Structure 1
């Protein structure tokens, strides 16, 4: 039995055909899904929790992406933009997150094909089936999805849909600081000194870090961005110091290889290595945080195991750059089939295992690998990768193209998946670029 046999093309369901496809998230993958559905004349509604499209990317808008514009524009979206007279950015340039939103996502969302179907400031609280919790089976595929939402005024409502594409990403659910996946003991008492991933050290957050002792925890590219920004700040602001904590003996996934298919990513690794070598970054390797506390003057006491010995260090701020995980709470009434380790769709998980694959070695995949026991429900984009860090925007674009083809009953188009990715090197270990590294 093939993967296509496991999930035959969708057939007519009179009760559902008049309903839209609900797309959760108005980032690059959610808007690409909208463009793909528009191309196939399938009605859709895009629900975005943030106040504007690309809200998750805006949170790290100061960061420059690893991929050039050539890899960041969805083909169906480009057709719509070109028809409207869009001036495409230089394909060789690397945009920042803000530029990605300004020059691509916002013009795309403003097009007449998408704008009337986009609702911002609407958070999806839960997804279920009409009249059915997850335990009921009979007639399930013919029952509409129900999405419970809350808008900026606090009003709770429900939306019905024929299918759901959850492209909400993972930026709102960072991993915990503890190596056991939990908050370290005492974390609640110093919560005001723990900083979320990718602060704007040289911009809006400069005053918070200037003259402070900062510990950055994490071995991926979001950690690297913050470390290098802090090094620059330390050169300008006396009293600023930078320490880096990683669990292993070296940050193996922070590639600095000259063979990396995304050269900008290799440069980041090389610059971090150089800063460690010259002492601009203090390195705590083989370090696992056990407990956090506060000193008499309010600093954070970080106690951890280093090579088997307990040590305590004192810092003013701790940046959590340990990666992200999917928010599955809103999907408790949906029948998901997830890998036990990375929390990705079970058939996709072996293809994206970060112990085996980089973002450039992930095979093309589509609706069949992304399907769940819940008919017509899909995770797409960064959220589909669970805790795996090997995601590229181009991968998500092919995912939603295949899903849209399946929803349109185009079995051949859905099954034919093709993708050319930059080879070699390791991807961000934390999804720091919001699925656009």
Structure 2
């Protein structure tokens, strides 16, 4: 190539270097994140054959660019006043502020008495906020760099989903699952916000994938390494949200137990019969009944708190509990408790219902909600095929979904909060739905 032909390349390289320098001056952490994402995508795409590498690479890059554009849009919409930054949620704003207060305390910089109270008050995501403070101690205040860290973390999660599904159910199902998790609308929102959802997605998937690899490892060293990854992911989840640890650990335990039981039909029948006898025996014990009613009443108290907190809400309990005052939940009967739990499970799947959408902002939930219902349908259709292809992965995903339903359904009442918490199990529904989609597609084209 002649010198004249090289000039456009030199000019492009110079402009790219200038742009990177400007971006680094504005947010060093963002530049570091782009470098990590590039390295990660290269590693993720390397094992794929060229026919698969191009579309999967395009999907991953598109997911990153959509999120980077969202973070940049937040930056451009920031009021140009001192100490201002823009976020999508109050939780994100509090996360940035609290992490900076923690950092100021560590550096001996005075803060207001009320800010100091909020630092040490045991509310919010304390472990996550201390992690943000540590990160900013290394790179400086980064209200827009932290969302890019979440974008990086979420991209790692998406790569992990693709690898897990590809090894278990094939390349087409893996591509479908990747598209779902990368472009699920609310997941895009969570992943560009300085909140803990993106790390939770990654830690939950690390725990599941690590468990699968540990169970299938042939060498002791690999088995120990994967077990340590699972342990570290669970410890990190417990520092962020107790419910996240319960869902992950409980879901994995259910999946492993179900796999052990279902290896032989006779064993499954015996365990099922014994389980029914034990369950009936426990259900007749007064202390068990009292404990169940107490936990159900506590869940109802939390539900009522969500209902009365404003926003779009739903009512899963009998009407008397919404007008009976603070003592009403503690007079709940077993029949009322059963109705409350069943309705809560139904709302977990079906909310928001049409009459819940009473505002223009509520309409934003409708397209995703219709997609969610379709996703559940495809997941149900995909379970038989998934069990035939990879019973262990299927049962662990089902266990995660069941634990998510048990931990989330009865403790909510606000549609926005429900959607945010329900998204914790969406990736595992997506894994099964991808198998269902491929199955339906193959039947339609055959």
**TM, length-normalised to structure 1:** 0.26
Structure of larger gyration radius: 2
Structure with greater helix percent = 2
Higher relative contact order (CA 8 A, sep 6+): 1
